[in-house]
Amino acid sequence: MNRLSYLIGRLVKGVFVILAIGVLAFLVIRLVPGDPVAVIAGKSGAVDAEYMDNLRQKLGLDQPLVVQLGIFLKGLVQGDLGQSYRQGAPVSAIILERLPATLLLTLSASAISILLGVLAGAMAARRRGTWADSAIGTLALLFYATPLFWMGLMAILLFSLVLGWFPAFGMVSADMRYEGIRHVLDVLHHLIMPMTILGLFYMAVYARLTRASMLEVSEMDFVRTARAKGLPESYITRRHILRNALLPIITFAGIQAGHLIGGTVLIETVFGWPGIGRLAFDSLLQRDYPVLLGIFIVTSAMVVIFNILTDLLYTLVDPRIEVNK
């Protein structure tokens, strides 16, 4: 019951956070110079003033900013994100169409980065000062410091152009019309490169975090006690050190999950992945305010949800933490 009421409280707070982000995002977007009607008109060749006025009226851009904000918030409360200026379609449909691609990429990249990162970090911590520790540390630094888009381009050159192992762009082979299991394999074939590049970057972070956290925990009294009791080292590492060292990792994973949704613009661009990171970028260039706002709302909702999940996960990993505190 405790957990349920806590959850409801957090969700209510989350709704207000999202509304506040909505207002802020609305105002910030309008601070950026650029008029959507001018962008549309600029691409069309000759345009007369009457045409532009009509268009402005159609899009509701002739209203005072406060009225526009009111219309946006009213829609938001009712779950209506409005219509795209450019595509004329509902924003929610546009975002929903692109969200699965981003989730597939980010969740799979997260999974391998957490799995491999924690393993590598644990190994480095256990073999502190050995060549394995140095190798892991150096590689982690390398992956962390190299710009993602550059790694992506180099991977395309090597694995697509030279070796021909993986496709250079996209999520499906559009000209092949695969169905069923062939389609799934086709998507996986396209997924491997962007997932790995994105995963390597975060893997580096997890490895460093895990190593530092484990070394800190392994100095603590209860670990010394466990060793004194004569427990096997691998058991101590697994049950005592790693479990206690996981808390900062979970915290980071929670923050990063929200960040990943919006933070994949570069990878999505380099690999032509049809996700919402790129949708956001395109919408910004086109001054498609409703789509841009919709993406802000969806992304912030994700962050709120992941934060709640993180907090719940704490209580599972560490029974000393109670939800209502």
Binding site for another protein (CB under 8 A): 32-39, 41-49, 51-52, 58, 84, 86-89, 94, 97-98, 101, 153, 156-157, 160-161, 164, 167-172, 174-175, 268-275, 278-279, 282, 284-287
Residue closer to another protein (CB basis): 62 or 216: 62
- Tell me the DSSP string of 112-134: HHHHHHHHHHHHHHHTTTSHHHH
Task: State how far the Cα of 296 lies from the Cα of 182, in Å rounded to an integer.
Answer: 35
Burial of 309 (0-12, 13-18, 19+ CB in 10 A): middle
Q: How far is the CB of 175 from another protein (least distance, A)?
A: 5
CA torsion 121-125-131-135 (nearest 10°) is 20
**Strand, coil or helix: 320:** coil
Q: How near is the Cβ of 68 to another protein at its closest, in Å?
A: 18
Q: Toward another protein, which CB reaches closer, 67 or 154?
A: 154
97 versus 233: smaller Cβ distance to another protein: 97
- The CB-of-156 to another protein minimum distance in angstroms stands at 6
Nearer to another protein, 92 or 269 (CB): 269
AA letter at 283 = S
Shortest Å distance, C-beta 75 to another protein: 16
Residue with tokens 């994700």: 302
Specify the length of the chain in residues. 325
Least distance CB 263 / another protein (angstroms): 16
**Minimum distance of another protein from residue 158's CB (angstroms):** 11
State which residue, 262 or 275, has the beta carbon closest to another protein. 275
Cβ nearer to another protein, comparing 208 with 278: 278
DSSP 252: H
Phi/psi at 235 (5° precision): -65, -45
Q: Which among 279, 270, 59 is positioned nearest to 147, based on CA atoms?
A: 270
> Least Å distance between CB 267 and another protein?
10
| Angle, vertex CA 156, rays to CA 150 and CA 162, nearest 5 | 130
Closest CB to another protein among residues 258, 274: 274
